[in-house]
Amino acid sequence: MKIAFIGLGNMGGGMAANLVKAGHEVNAFDLSEEALATARDNGCTPFTDAAEAVMGVEAVVTMLPNGQIVKSVYEGSVIGKAPDGAVFVDCSTIDVATARDVIIRSIDAGYDMVDAPVSGGIAAANGGTLTFMVGGTDTAFRRAEAVLNAMGKAVIHAGDAGAGQTAKICNNMLLAISMIGTAEAMKMAEKLGLDPQKFYEISSQSSGYCWSLNAYTPMPGVGVESPADKDYQGGFATGLMLKDLRLAMEAAQTADASIPLGRHAGELYEQFAKDNAGLDFSAIIKTL
């Protein structure tokens, strides 16, 4: 299939390369010359104009920093420029309202479109093992799935337009809360004189079992190997977690949802990100 890929950063670079590996012909566009050069090395055809990159393609995939940029790229360079009937797949993490708005505008212009944010970081993007949570009609989902399969291990239809973004921010809010809870419990066990490794062995097989403890232990030298063992380098950056928490708080307000713990987690990450935005989000244990 001929696909245009816009946004070849930390995530999009590897994703576009995986589309090429799967046999697709990929037109690549990014504002960064360096990202475009890497895309060319990975077998993509580089373009210096997004509207030219989408000409003649069957699908457009975007992986961009925020909702404002997604809206301006679709309105300025994709809608009305890509061939009639093409399918659009936005994999960026953005606010639910903008995701729905861009999908409605695309459908009105005769295209199919889904929001398809991802779970999994740069390693999963490079390795083709992302999980995609997809919002859109059944037809749009089926068409997007054919493209997404080349970049991920799971592609899940979450519901109508915007449902992918909803799943993503609710999941990441839960992750932030559970990471802070795990960190608090581990530090408290230590302060009370319990060997943290013993606490890990017990709690990871008891009702404290959760992904933050079992698969991403935030204390160095304890539990499974994780970013904590590499000085909190790599992994999922605190700045990106804060971005997702802000989106969650915004969405909660529009839906009148009560999120006292989500809000508190947001405040703690807001504070922590001031000097530590580049560290893995599990480094929040250092504040305890």
Q: Which of 2, 153, 168, 243 is catalytic?
A: 168
The residue among 29 and 269 lying less far from ligand NAD, judged by its C-beta, is 29
* Residue of this chain nearest to ligand NAD (CB atom): 9
Question: Which residues of this chain interact with ligand NAD, rule CB under 6 A?
Answer: 6-12, 29-32, 35, 50, 63-65, 69, 73, 92-93, 118, 121-122, 236, 240, 243
Cα torsion for 125, 130, 113, 247, to the nearest 10°?
-90
Q: HEC string of 201-244?
A: HHHCCCCCCCHHHHCCCCCCCCCCCCHHHHCCCCCCEHHHHHHH
Biggest alpha carbon–alpha carbon distance for the chain: 66
Residue 240: CB minimum distance to ligand NAD, A: 5
Residue 200: CB minimum distance to ligand NAD, A: 25
The residue among 126 and 137 lying less far from ligand NAD, judged by its C-beta, is 126
Residue 162: CB minimum distance to ligand NAD, A: 15
Residue 121: CB minimum distance to ligand NAD, A: 4
The residue among 66 and 149 lying less far from ligand NAD, judged by its C-beta, is 66
Strands, E, within the chain: which ranges?
2-6, 25-29, 45-47, 59-62, 87-90, 112-115, 118-119, 130-135, 152-159
The residue among 12 and 223 lying less far from ligand NAD, judged by its C-beta, is 12
Contact 76, 133 (CB under 8 A): no
**Does the annotation count 81 as an active-site position?**
no
Active site members:
168
